[in-house]
């Protein structure tokens, strides 16, 4: 478990701001209680913002996400993992490709698709097993778009709901991308350039990379 407790480049659990945040919000007598407390602190204390510059390494780093008060799914997953490690809870990040059936027109125009590759979540080692936690969508955002907020009890996986509060189809998981001790940012950026050439000023024909 050493690699899942040690500071890393993007899961920078030794950053002073992360250490202070974890110390403030890791409340409870057990790892499960502390993990749940940290989950809600990251979910609702850091605003979800998918309109970031993904070509910058800083978009993937937990401490940057915390200090900015906003981040997208990978940054928030890295932050939760960093806070957990700072609290002595083994943590890593996991990824999957998802289809968002309720993508907003603005986001769909920017991305050019409703497919989101390398959606990020956190995995925490609790009571002898890895448990998924997805702190991406803050509560205010969920209420605004009538998306069911993701709850986390520290014992069951917390992943996106397939339907929203009005029973419209929401998230569909399409492909697992694996789990990592740190964010594989270079690999993700390469796949992002292939999936979203418009974000990088590329034409579709210029995006030579594959989805490998």
Residues 138-182 have pLDDT tens digits of 999 989 988 889 999 999 999 887 777 777 777 899 999 999 999
User: How large a percentage of the chain has pLDDT more than 70?
Assistant: 93
Q: For 163-212, what is the HEC assignment?
A: ECCCCCECEEEEEEEEEECCCCHHHHHHHHHHHCHHHHCCCHHHCCCCCC
Report the C-alpha gap between 143 and 13 in whole angstroms.
31
Report the C-alpha gap between 61 and 125 in whole angstroms.
21
The pLDDT of residue 129 is above 50:
yes
Q: Give the number of other Cβ atoms within 10 Å of residue 103's Cβ.
A: 17
Q: Which pLDDT does position 184 carry in this prediction?
A: 98
Q: Which pLDDT does position 199 carry in this prediction?
A: 75
| Domain range list for the chain | 2-206
> Residues 171, 99: contact at Cβ < 8 Å?
yes
The pLDDT of residue 198 is above 90:
no
In this structure, what are the phi and psi dihedrals at residue 100, rounded to the nearest 5 degrees?
-95, 105
Question: What is the third-level CATH fold of 2-206?
Answer: C8orf32 fold (3.10.620)
Q: What is the rounded average pLDDT of the residues 36-41?
A: 98
The pLDDT of residue 60 is above 70:
yes
Q: Between the CA of residue 78 and those of 63, 145, 152, what are the distances in Å?
A: 9, 25, 17
Q: Which residues of 1-36 are buried (b: 16+ CB within 10 A; e: fewer)?
A: eeebbeebebbbbebeebbebbeebbeeeebbebbb
- Say what the pTM is: 0.90
């Amino acid at each position: 478990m050493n690699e899942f407790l040690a500071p890393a480049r993007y899961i920078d659990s030794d950053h002073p701001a992360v250490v202070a945040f974890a110390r403030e919000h890791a409340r409870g007598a057990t790892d499960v209680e502390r993990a749940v407390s940290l989950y809600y602190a990251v979910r609702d204390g850091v605003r979800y913002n998918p309109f970031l510059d993904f070509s910058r390494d800083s978009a993937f780093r937990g401490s940057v996400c915390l200090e900015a008060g906003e981040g997208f799914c990978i940054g928030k997953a890295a932050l939760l993992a960093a806070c957990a490690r700072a609290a002595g809870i083994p943590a890593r990040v996991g990824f999957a490709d998802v289809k968002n059936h309720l993508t907003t027109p603005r986001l769909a125009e920017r991305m050019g698709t409703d497919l989101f590759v390398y959606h990020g979540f956190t995995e925490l080692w609790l009571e002898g097993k890895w448990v998924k936690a997805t702190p991406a969508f803050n509560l205010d955002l969920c209420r605004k778009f009538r998306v069911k907020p993701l709850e986390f009890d520290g014992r069951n996986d917390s992943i996106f709901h397939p339907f929203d509060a009005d029973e419209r189809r929401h998230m569909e998981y399409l492909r697992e991308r694996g789990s990592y001790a740190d964010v594989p940012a270079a690999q993700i950026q390469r796949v992002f350039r292939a999936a979203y050439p418009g974000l990088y000023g590329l034409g579709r024909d210029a995006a030579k990379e594959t989805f490998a």
